[in-house]
Every structure is written in C-alpha cells, then in structure tokens.
Structure 1
C-alpha cells in the first residue's frame, strides 16, 4: 500500500463514526441519486435470460449506497479501504457483506459482478490512479456489466487536514468530464450516459456533480 493509500485508510478510520452519522441517511435528501440507483438496479437485477447478478459497491463507506441497492432487491457487496468504516457498515447493515480492500487492486476474480457502483469513491485519486481503478472495474465486471460512478466536477484539488473536528490528511480531487470518461473508455468501457446536477448546497460541498454510466461490451473477454 502506498503512503497516500495509508493516509486515506487512516483518515477515514479516524473519522468513521462521525462520517457515518453524517452521511448514512444522505440519500433521503438526494432524489436525483436515488433515481439513478433505480435505473442502475433495473439493469443489473437478475433476469430470466441469465443477465444481471451481483453488484460491488466500491468505496462504500458506512453503506448508504449498498443499503439503497439492497432495498431495490440487488445482491450487493460493499468494499472500503478503511477497516473502521467497514466496521460501521457491518454494524448498521449486518445482512449485507462488507470487506476491506482497495479498488486499485480488487481481490475478485475476473467477471465476478454484473454491476459496480462508485459513488464519490474516486475523489482522492490522481489521473493515473483513476485509470487504474477503471481497469480494475472492467476486469471484475462480466461482459455487458454496468458501472455507475459519481464525482465532483472541476479542476481543483482541495486539501483537508481536519474533518469532523479530527485530524486527517486528504486531498479531494475534482475532475473534468472528459478526464473521467477518458479513463473509462481507455479501460475498455462504452459510455452509455452522462448526467450532471447542481449541488444540494444545504447538505453538500458546493460543486457540480457528474455521473457516468459505462458498460463493458458484451464481446469483452
């Protein structure tokens, strides 16, 4: 694990309890995000023709997206770098499997999942790390598998050395649309949709939000 990943792990483990209290119910206030999860769930839910199947929620935090997917009938597993964040998720959602791991080096076999969500999971990466994450997403998805990613739009990097009154060492990276789309395409994905929304300024950092739906081609090995 690189020094940067150790900083991310330590920072989120340090603030896991406060972070969970603040964000676990955030989707109640985000109708656009819930609607996108509805669209995603409809496409990855198992069907009689054999399509669909399990989903991986990377950078799952305390499990808010995993909970939403389970409520939509999806067989979901959550993964996060921070052990204390995973402990929070397991405590709050004992019926969903969660594990510690890095999206830059997933420990899943190729073609393990029908879908993958990464809600603000790429916000600490540089361009090279983003490209590596997309390659891992592509590897673990089945042919025709679907990825849904959200991110902050822009070109700035915001450093934080404190969150929830506790010390952290985190850089929050904003990406241009072309950068994120380019990383998914370079990994082999086909972009199916791009959407953008304004922030809910009363509960969110005041940045525009971008969402990408990307599919692994059916002919991919």
Structure 2
C-alpha cells in the first residue's frame, strides 16, 4: 500500500526536528492546570475500567511517562523513528513503537484508553474519519479517548518549525466539528473544554473526552 504523502511529510519533518522539539516543548509537569486536570481525569476513568493505554503521536514520550506516573499501563506510538528513539532512551522501562495512528498494529478492543495529545492536526480532514474509526476499533467497549489539540478554522503550511525546515501541514478544525467526527465514528463525547489563546483570537486549545 502506498504511504500517504501527508504521513511521509510528518515522519520526515519530526525526524528532523526531534532533538530541538524536546528542548523547546514544555514537559507535562509544567502544562497549565486545566490540561493537567484533563489528563488526570482521563487517567482516573481508565484506571476504573482497566486495560492498557496507547499514547498515539507520543513524540519523545514525556506524556506517555506522565500517564504511567498516574498509574496507567501506557505505551507510545509515533510515526517518527527519531522520536521513538528519543523516547526509548529517556524511558527504557516503557514501550514505544514506530507506527501510524491510522493503521495500528493492535487487535480489536484491546485498549482501555487512547490518548491523542496534539497529534491529529497534521491529518487532512478527509482522513480524520478513518483515523477516529481506528481509535474506536482498538478500544474495548467503554474504553476512553482523550483528544487534545488545536481548534480553529485554518490550513497552515509552515516552512519552518522548531528551528528546522518542515514539510508537514496543519489542519485546524472547530471543536464542534471534531466532536461531530468522533460521534460519527461511534464515540460518545462526555466533555468538551476550550481554552482561548490570547495571542491568537481565531484559535483555541481544545480537549474532548469520549468513550467507545
């Protein structure tokens, strides 16, 4: 099967920026209180239901390790081999694999939770239904999804990110549209939280909590 061009662009770009990404992005412990509260709520819900948790688009593994510290059997998946290598070096006690969130090497209904933390915005909107269907496929009945990311109405083509040339694109959708797509994939959305970005009135940060 031919690899989608957007997936190759994401992999190659994050391979290039991996080391500086780690240096520039704040760790979970320094996130704003609301974001940390959403991660904590997700962790509590998944602990109650049991089952492993996949951190999809895990990057260098910091959030995966944060979830493990909250008592979850968490592992990470990322399309970037460089990101996976950094995660394995930083957290050798955890499992990290290279792969695509659109085609997970997991059996149906095997996960208690899925985290997609600022990782789906590089997916073209036309491909999101298939990605969300894949999230739904791997979750056990009643398993939880936490989707965190950027919300808005924009298609961005940055020439540079984290100090390096990049070829990925970002597709920002309104929070309501993301919630609708999750519902169409078979999820029940139980919480939706938006935080404004003071520096960008046309964009916000969004967290969507749902169950399969």
- Give the TM-score taking structure 1 as reference length: 0.90
State the superposition RMSD in angstroms.
1.8
Listed as ranges, the matches of 1:19-38 within 5 Å are 19-23=21-25, 25-38=27-40
Contact 1:106/1:136, CA 8 A, preserved across alignment: yes
Q: Deviation above 2 Å: which 4+ runs of structure 1?
A: 198-201, 204-207
The 10-residue stretch of structure 1 (165-174 or 34-43) with the greater mean CA deviation from structure 2: 165-174
Q: Does 1:15 align with 2:17?
A: yes
For 2:171 and 2:43, locate their aligned partners in 1 and report how far apart those are by CA, in whole Å: 28
Unaligned runs of 5+ in 2: none
What's the CA shift for 1:188?
0.6
Which residue number corresponds to residue 219 of structure 1? none
SS in 2 for 1:110: coil
Q: Does 1:211 align with 2:211?
A: no
Residues 172-207 of structure 1: per-residue CA shift (max 9 Å, x gap): 111112221111111111111111112386xx9983
Which residue number corresponds to residue 131 of structure 1? 129
Listed as ranges, the matches of 1:1-221 within 5 Å are 1-23=3-25, 25-45=27-47, 47=48, 51-199=49-197, 207-216=203-212
Distance 1:99 1:210, change over 3 A: same
For 1:200 and 1:72, locate their aligned partners in 2 and report how far apart those are by CA, in whole Å: 30
For 1:102 and 1:67, locate their aligned partners in 2 and report how far apart those are by CA, in whole Å: 20
What's the CA shift for 1:64?
2.0
The 10-residue stretch of structure 1 (72-81 or 176-185) with the greater mean CA deviation from structure 2: 176-185
Unaligned runs of 5+ in 1: 217-221
SS in 2 for 1:78: strand
